[in-house]
Structure 1
Amino acid sequence: MEHFKFKVEELEKNMRIDVFISTKFKDKSRSYIKGIIDELGVTVNGRDKKSNYKLKIDDEISFAIPENRELDVEAEKIDIDILYEDSDVIVVDKQQGMVVHPAPGNYTGTLVNALLYHCKDLSGINGINRPGIVHRIDKDTSGVLVVAKNDKSHKFLAEQLKEHSMNRIYLALVEGIIKVDEGTIDAPLGRHPVERIKISIVKNGREAVTHYKVIERFKNNTLVECKLETGRTHQIRVHMAHIGHPLVGDPLYGYKKQRFNLKGQMLHAKKLGFIHPTSKVYMEFESSIPDYFNRIIDILRNELK
């Protein structure tokens, strides 16, 4: 652990503390600094502060950065489906039910636990509990995602996410019949004001855009392909519920009474495309539709016969 001390000057007053500290480490992203603050803490004048603390003149800040290998996450021998791997990235086909990284209530059995057993060289940008994680998919969402093996690759991939140039296509089964063949949902998202576990449409929320296209219609359901322009938490789930077509099996935003006994929402990260951090060549990976998804689709198709 490396410790640092800073004193706030006139021009730095009113800055958020995570922004201030990130200016002191040009090789670290703000998200990395915020992750360290959230997990290990930071003190101002000897008192613990959160990452959104606004600085005052002459504030004395104490901050520590862990070594990349000083992780609070244990490596676990867990089988994972690796679609591609080189010295910069790992592309994984995540199974339904696996949490991507450790968090309260899920400190073991995650994709990160499995990756740390598989390889030791993961980027440290997102903090000690999320090494290598550039983007996430929900626990009960299956499919493809990319993991960074070093900070250079992580920054390059994160920039593509920020610029909306990473190609992410999902397959979703929703309730009801969508009459139009395609459409776009442009509705800002933020934390629900009352039910904090939920995300909702919020007037001053973060920009969120989902493009959808109907693939197949059934008796009471529609299979759609969703292309993400942005990648907010629960984006597809909230957006489809917003237009009156929540995902089948969704425990948060779906129907209270579900027809099928499912483990979670019918959402699969089908395709992921990005420019490789080193070769600068566009690469695209596709995940086959999993058995749990095909089983329900087969039932719905047979009802049309």
Structure 2
Amino acid sequence: MSETFLITAEQKGQRLDKVLGALQEEWSRGQIQTFIDEGHLLVNGEKVKKTYKLKENDEIVVNPPEPEPLEILAEDLNLEIVYEDADVLVVNKPKGMVVHPAPGHTTGTLVNGLMHQVTDLSGINGVMRPGIVHRIDKDTSGLLMVAKNDLAHESLVQQLVDKSVTRRYIALVHGHIPHDKGTIDAPIGRDKKDRQKMGVVDEGKHAVTHFQVIGRFGVDYTLVQCRLETGRTHQIRVHMNYIGYPLVGDPKYGPKKTMDIGGQALHAGVLGFVHPRTNEYLEFEAPMPQEFDALLNELKSSYDKK
């Protein structure tokens, strides 16, 4: 479906790809440049260069190409299913695993593994994301709820909208947080300087994270439990960085000098929701992955000696 944008006086003189990326957050700068190269994007009915500087009243028309149909294969990934019944299941996703396939990444995902181990998954999200109600980042480990039919899917999504789902994470952050608990209420949207990142921006979506300190390692590191009230992309990573305590190992939001542990030290340890059919509240807990636990033991041993 084509989309049309009309350039205002405030936007004139700026690069086409930069302005369009701000107008349509679903498209990355790279995607927009591909649209330009392949003729899917026209300015006043004509092809332009990626470096084109906009003029007032320019009309941009974008006809994104239809996504190529993908065949999602079932794979034996030996997923740890913590709970399963006829309507829902809870899975403990390992660190390093993407939740669902996308163009260019069609194997080794949680969905590939679910299709091997589970006979029924809801179809509301289409063939790319069967059963997927919510996501956690590739390098975040922990619990996810999955819908096995459309009734369950709609119920779980509504619980997320109503903010009634319990989601508690364990995170190791840089720095010494002096207070024992706090709440971060700051809107999250696409970072204006880097379209590949999220950030706290005035026009972003409402986002609230509650945190409580559960351990300190000198003045260098703090272990916190974070409870999500909302579920924005990279929410904990963005919020903790925003208040000056970025996650250890985070390649996107952490400091340049951080531990090389293959991604952020973040684990979705507790998940609770009301069962879509029985209305019973269910809550599950997954222990920290072995490598996260080993890291904490190493820090504790190191700082106990100081």
TM-score range, shorter chain: 0.7 to 0.9
Structure 1 residues 120 and 194: alpha-carbon distance in aligned structure 2, compared to 1, 3 A threshold:
farther
Matched length = 239
Whether 1:165 aligns to 2:133 is no
Letter in 2 for 1:91: V
Q: SS of the counterpart of 1:298?
A: helix
How far, CA to CA, are the matches of 1:241 and 1:137 in structure 2? 18
> What does 1:19-34 align with in structure 2 at a 5 Å threshold?
none
Spell out, residue by residue over 1:90-130, the C-alpha distance to the aligned partner (whole angstroms, 9 max, x if none): 10011100100012332100000001111231111112200
Is 169-178 or 73-82 further displaced after alignment?
A: 73-82
Spell out, residue by residue over 1:191-222, the C-alpha distance to the aligned partner (whole angstroms, 9 max, x if none): 11231110011101110000000000112100
Specify the alignment match of 2:245 in structure 1. 245
Specify the alignment match of 1:225 in structure 2. 225
Whether 1:214 aligns to 2:213 is yes
Whether 1:236 aligns to 2:236 is yes
Letter in 1 for 2:109: T
Displacement of 1:71 in angstroms is 7.0
Spell out, residue by residue over 1:109-165, the C-alpha distance to the aligned partner (whole angstroms, 9 max, x if none): 000000111123111111220010000000000001110001110000000000000
Regions of 4+ moved over 4 Å: none
Specify the alignment match of 2:66 in structure 1. none
Whether 1:72 aligns to 2:74 is no
**What is the TM-score when the length of structure 1 is the normalising length?**
0.76
Whether 1:179 aligns to 2:178 is yes
Specify the alignment match of 1:122 in structure 2. 121
Displacement of 1:303 in angstroms is 2.0
Is 102-111 or 204-213 further displaced after alignment?
A: 102-111
Specify the alignment match of 1:197 in structure 2. 196
Residue segments in structure 2 that go unaligned for 5+ positions in a row: 1-25, 27-39, 42-68
Residue segments in structure 1 that go unaligned for 5+ positions in a row: 1-33, 35-47, 50-69
How far, CA to CA, are the matches of 1:274 and 1:72 in structure 2? 32
> What does 1:119-158 align with in structure 2 at a 5 Å threshold?
119-158=118-157
How far, CA to CA, are the matches of 1:250 and 1:82 in structure 2? 27
Letter in 1 for 2:151: K
Could you say what the CA RMSD is over the residues aligned between the two structures, in angstroms? 1.8
Specify the alignment match of 2:7 in structure 1. none
Specify the alignment match of 2:86 in structure 1. 87
How far, CA to CA, are the matches of 2:191 and 2:170 in structure 1? 25
Specify the alignment match of 2:34 in structure 1. none
Q: SS of the counterpart of 1:132?
A: coil
Specify the alignment match of 2:23 in structure 1. none
Specify the alignment match of 1:4 in structure 2. none
